[in-house]
Structure 1
Amino acid sequence: METHNASSGSRVPWNKGKLTGQKPPLKLPEIWAIRTRLQMSANIRELALFNLAIDSKLRACDLTRLLVQDVCQGSHVGARAMVMQQKTQRPVQFEITEHTRLSIEAWIRVRKLTSIDYLFPSRLHASPHISTRQYARIVHRWIASIGLEDSAYGTHTMRRTKASLIYRRTKNLRAVQLLLGHSKLESTVRYLGIEVDDALEMAEQTEV
């Protein structure tokens, strides 16, 4: 018993020295700063990954498992895509903007990917696609590259970014709920960091 207590007491908490809680979204100048750095360094893979992460608003587990055929219509990347979410088993649709389509098409050409390949294959033989842990490390590197404290951000930063921009522009909670694939409005409210009462009042005003 004493040995057990001693080992428990010496265990280091997983979040020691880390900032926990909701991860903030990126602001427009920060998005463009990261995008420009990736373009200047000719990092085709990460530029495609960054752009698609912003556009898709997908969780890391869904983003990293995308197949080429999930975003391509024939030999071209489509303007829209639909993906079945692993967490909720609900489909979610998203727009793929022109600069994202171009960056993905460039990556597919360079990597010579086929329709049944993973869009972001792993460089490690043990995994067919990049892992969520690898993706998290990449996100932290992006954040640090523009001088932000990377421990304050994470993969959910990428998921929240466009949703937050859309909400600030439209104040349409229902639309953002659909874009994020949330089954409950309350989940969207928490994700955006809005006061619940204010959010419900706005949602009622936008109902037709």
Structure 2
Amino acid sequence: MKNVDPIRDPRKIQAMKTYLKGKSPRDAALFVVGINVALRITDLLNVRWRDVLDDKQHFKPLTLVEQKTGKERRIHLNKPSQKALRDLQSNLPAVSLDDYLFQSREGHQKPLSRQQALVILKEAAQAVGIKDNIGTHSLRKTWGYHAWKNGFSPALIMETLNHSNLAVTKRYLGIRQDDINDLYGQLNL
């Protein structure tokens, strides 16, 4: 499997949001929620409305056990995630709490497939001119990269991503020479 990259440029993130919103509320919500919750795609695609909404349709923390690690995650959905899900919900004919957030169009009660999610993301990335290698894991990597760029501790990022050690997280963040150059340019002691 070839490594994928995070989306580093905030303008490209906005362009992806705009492009996907014009194509499909489901695809836009998949992208927005994906870059804001840092879940692996298999975990994200298996989330149902009951996992994020209570009986009164209010958002609640998403609690799940990660398939890969077996560890429990509790995620408070931020405002962009909540807005994207409300937009999706308002564009659906009906929503049952048992429905998947990101339903396949191929059948009732089937989540979007990992392969279809990949096609959606690659098409959008190409449409907005992203040259890096984008895949489904780019959603999670984008969260990690921007958490790091916004000053969050690599140790906290490591814990959030359930990485086994800091070396994994450092590799995962996709730090490039231009990031190192920025550090030298911005740190003036």
Unaligned runs of 5+ in 2: 177-189
**Contact 2:6/2:139 (8 A) holds in 1:** no
TM-score between the two structures when normalised by the length of structure 2 = 0.81
Partners of 2:3 and 2:83 lie apart in 1 by 34
Distance 1:194 1:36, change over 3 A: closer
What is the TM-score with the length of structure 1 in the denominator? 0.74
Rounded to whole Å, the distance in 1 between the matches of 2:108 and 2:53 is 26
Superposition pairs of residues 1-208 of structure 1, within 5 angstroms: 20-39=2-21, 41=22, 43-74=24-55, 75-78=57-60, 80-111=61-92, 112-125=94-107, 128-149=110-131, 152-193=133-174
Instruction: Count residues in correspondence.
Output: 174
Q: Secondary structure at the match of 1:73?
A: coil
Q: Which runs of 5+ in 1 are unaligned?
A: 1-14, 196-208
8 Å CA contact 1:26, 1:157 repeated in 2: no
Contact 2:99–2:109 at 8 Å: present in 1 too? Answer: no
- Separation (CA, whole Å) in 1 of partners of 2:8 and 2:53: 27
Displacement of 1:42 in angstroms is: 6.0
CA deviation profile, 1:124-150 (whole Å, cap 9, x unmatched): 139711111111111101101101236
Q: Secondary structure at the match of 2:120?
A: helix
| Identity percentage of aligned residues | 26
SS in 2 for 1:121: coil
**Cα distance in 2, alignment partners of residues 64 and 47 from structure 1:** 14
Displaced runs of 4+ in structure 1, greater than 4 A?
none
Distance (whole Å) between structure 2 residues aligned to residue 127 and residue 82 of structure 1: 20
Match of 1:7 in 2: none
Structure showing greater radius of gyration is 1
* 1:165 aligned partner, one-letter code: H
CA distance 1:22–1:141, shift in 2 (3 Å): closer
Q: Distance in 1 between matches of 2:157 and 2:80?
A: 22
Question: Which structure exhibits the higher relative contact order, with contacts defined as CA atoms closer than 8 Å and separated by 6 or more residues?
Answer: 2
Any conservation in 2 of the 1:34–1:146 contact (CA below 8 Å)? yes
> RMSD of aligned C-alpha atoms?
2.3
Whole-Å Cα distance in 1 between the matches of residues 89 and 26 of structure 2? 9
CA contact (8 A) 2:6 2:174 kept: no
In 2, the alpha carbon distance for the partners of 1:193 and 1:48 equals: 25
CA distance in 2, matches of 1:136, 1:127: 20
